Amino acid sequence: MVVPTSNGKAWTLPPALESSPPETLVSFVAIQQLQLDQGTHYGKHKRSLREIQEEEYARQAEENFLKWWTAEEERIRIENEAIAASLLQPQKQPQQPLQRHHGRRGKKPAATSAVGRSVPGSRTPRGGDRKGPVV
């Protein structure tokens, strides 16, 4: 910068400014090295869109899994509580219905086999199927 003066010369240089002593000045290379040592990186690796999407997908999958896991734990807890409650309740014996005899009062019961069916030939058939001597 050139400054006009009144001493006859049209232009003169301004007086030199005092600067700090050179031993206190830190060089640019030294500043960069200091930043590297401190872990400050101005040229950080930028992630691509694909990397960001993959990370987001993995995060979402983990979140969905944790929601499922929590719901499954709750379902099993409720199921186990229901089983424990049913085991602790006294078991009610089913009452047998009253036996009612309809239409066979005073008669002998029909002969039955071990399976509960009537044994053929133990009762006489109704009607004219009785075989007798042919006349």
Q: How far apart are CA 30 and CA 38, in angstroms?
A: 12
Tally Cβ neighbours within 10 Å of residue 35.
12
Residue 1 lies in a domain: no
pLDDT at residue 26, as a whole number? 74
Q: Is residue 59 assigned to a domain?
A: yes
Q: What's the total number of domains in the chain?
A: 1
Reported residue count of the chain is 135
**Is residue 52 in a domain?**
yes
The enclosing H or E element of 71 equals helix 49-88
Among candidate residues 110, 109, 129, 106, the one with its CA nearest the CA of residue 119: 110
In a domain, 82, yes or no: yes
| pLDDT tens across the length of the chain (135 residues) | 555 555 666 676 666 666 655 555 778 888 888 888 887 555 567 889 999 999 999 999 999 999 999 999 999 999 999 999 999 887 766 666 666 656 666 666 565 555 555 555 555 556 555 566 665
